[in-house]
Amino acid sequence: MLVNGPTLFADWGDFIQITVINKLRTNGTSIHWHGMQQRGTNLQDGANGVTECPIPPKGGTKVYKFRATQYGTSWYHSHFSAQYGNGVVGAIQINGPASLPYDIDLGTFPITDYYYNNNVLFNGTNVHPTTGNGKYANVTLTPGKRHRLRIINTSVENHFQLSLAGHQFTIIAADLIPVQAQTVSSLFLSVGQRLDVTIDASKTPGNYWFNATFGGSGFCGTSDNKGAAAIFHYAGAAGGLPKDPGAAPADHNCLDLTNLTPVVTRSLPVNNFIARPNNTLPVTVDVVSDAPLITWKVNGSAINVNWNKPVIDYVLTDNTSYPREENVVQISQADQWVYWLIENDPDGPFSIPHPIHLHGHDFLIVGRSPDATPLSQTRYVFDPAVDLPRLKGTNPARRDTAMLPARGWLLLAFKTDNPGAWLMHCHIAWHVSAGLSIQFLERPKDLKNSISLVDKLAFNANCLAWNLYFPALDPFPKIDSGLRLH
């Protein structure tokens, strides 16, 4: 198992080139650059079955090329079947301006479960709660200095509440969006999200617990390690375990902070929003009786991509006969705000929160159902008379991953200014594996015209190599949606 692949570093505006060699014996792969918008480079997004065929095993190679049009903290991971949960992940750090001065950049700090119920790993390490083997992750703070910490949740299903005993965090970026500095006592970080924070080392020099807990009465995640923690150590202080466990954070109930204010203002009209069938996406779950099968559906359909014929193949050949199971939503208008109301199983008996991630864009979080504990299963359906006045169109919070509340709704908007085939999916691994995803096919004519001959030839060559391998030479059949995990 690969725990934390190499961190990729770049500066804002750099051109990035990464060669991926698939040395696996039987599985394909693809690498998705989470949060990177791939403006003009949709074929570099790394979503197999959507923007490319998988890279075949036993030496298959792909060179990804794109520009760092954003700055901040993100990560990369496989988008092929079981690999991301088995550790094919790493951090991305794009250096650029900050909305608050700081003295020391501590770098990236991924937190994960890695399919592992026994523990939570901080930067790839922790002490086993039963055997005592392993070691705590240790971060050094310099007394009197302000530090930047880039926290990433690379888990397969767990959402974390994070706190540092005796200290506060000041949030300066959420996902790849710089925000006005906001000081809080604890953080909530869902699967796929990132928070850049500053920490002032202004306390008595010593050792302090950095704690990860689970809120929402178990709906946000769970671990056999009820005291999952890392150690933050002041330089010059004696070593040893911290003595103060720190105060328990307030329960975030699996809900994001929505009052984060982006530094770069983006606003849109919201007063005339009307929920219609063509902009409403119900999320439902089907359980097959007497069978170990759960299928997640968006708009009544579970996605099932074709590794051998990605949607880009349809675009290049002017074929609009997309199979129903591809869950393609075509958007042809250019430079228009499109609104998507996502309802979490409004008619079902039970629902859980979902981290919704969009490729190719960040989205404006225009509104969310009223706060409620997921355990209460309080049902909220969008009601214009009640909810229109609650919507925020003036510089609302903006992210590429946001939590859809249990039994509630989430209203997102993005501008059609980036032609491409872009997935939107739940980032809980087995939910997208079981179908919880759609594809926005944005401006397909413009997309086709933007694809260079070199990229088209590379796309076709990779698909030819993959089609020679799968399914004829692959000993394992495709048993899930083809995206992420089973």
pLDDT digits (tens, 9 = 90+) for 179-197: 999 999 999 999 999 999 9
Residue 60: per-residue pLDDT: 98
Tokens found for residue 285: 């779950």
Residue 20 has pLDDT above 80, yes or no: yes
The secondary structure element, H or E, covering residue 431 is: helix 429-433
What does the DSSP assignment read for 346-363? TTSS----EEEEESS--E
Residue 293 has pLDDT above 70, yes or no: no
Confidence of residue 295 (pLDDT cuts 50, 70, 90): low
Distance CA 362, CA 424 (A): 11
Q: Which comes out higher in pLDDT, residue 275 or 440?
A: 440
Helices and strands counted in the chain (H then E): 5, 28
CA 459-461-462 angle, 5° bins? 65
Residue 485: per-residue pLDDT: 40
For residues 379-384, average pLDDT: 93
**Closest by Cα among 356, 315, 359, 364 to 338:** 364
Distance CA 35, CA 32 (A): 9
Q: Which comes out higher in pLDDT, residue 478 or 239?
A: 239
Residue 114: per-residue pLDDT: 75
User: Please, what's the b/e burial string for 192-204 (b: 16 or more CB within 10 A of its CB; e: otherwise)?
Assistant: bbbbbbbbbbeee
Residue 252: per-residue pLDDT: 96
**Closest by Cα among 159, 106, 166 to 354:** 159
Residue 414 has pLDDT above 70, yes or no: yes
The terminus-to-terminus CA distance of the chain in angstroms comes to: 17
Asked if residues 283 and 340 have their Cβ atoms less than 8 Å apart, the reply is: no
Residue 196: per-residue pLDDT: 99
pLDDT digits (tens, 9 = 90+) for 36-81: 999 999 999 999 999 999 999 999 999 999 999 999 999 999 999 7
Residue 288 has pLDDT above 60, yes or no: no
Q: Which residues, listed in sequence order, are joined to residue 402 by a DSSP beta bridge?
A: 356
Distance CA 400, CA 34 (A): 9
Beta strand 401-404 pairing with 437-442: unpaired
Number of CB atoms found within 10 A of residue 264's CB: 9
For residues 125-139, average pLDDT: 94
Beta strand 60-67 pairing with 15-22: antiparallel
> Which segments of the chain belong to CATH 2.60.40.420?
100-262, 277-469
Distance CA 414, CA 12 (A): 22
Using a 10 angstrom Cβ sphere, with 0-12 exposed, 13-18 middle and 19 or more buried, the burial of residue 246 is middle
Residue 478: per-residue pLDDT: 78
Task: Output the pTM of the full model.
Answer: 0.95
Q: Which residues, listed in sequence order, are joined to residue 198 by a DSSP beta bridge?
A: 148, 170
pLDDT digits (tens, 9 = 90+) for 320-359: 999 999 999 999 999 999 999 999 987 777 799 999 999 9
| CATH architecture of the region 277-469 | Sandwich (2.60)
Distance CA 281, CA 341 (A): 6
Asked if residues 261 and 100 have their Cβ atoms less than 8 Å apart, the reply is: no
Which of 26-30, 114-118, 198-202, 206-210 is predicted with the least confidence, judged by mean pLDDT? 114-118
| CATH architecture of the region 100-262 | Sandwich (2.60)
Q: List phi, psi (to 5°) of 393.
A: -105, -15
Number of CB atoms found within 10 A of residue 266's CB: 17
pLDDT digits (tens, 9 = 90+) for 147-156: 999 999 999 9
Q: How much of the chain exceeds pLDDT 70, in percent?
A: 96
Residue 486 has pLDDT above 80, yes or no: no
Q: Which residues, listed in sequence order, are joined to residue 153 by a DSSP beta bridge?
A: 111
Residue 165: per-residue pLDDT: 98
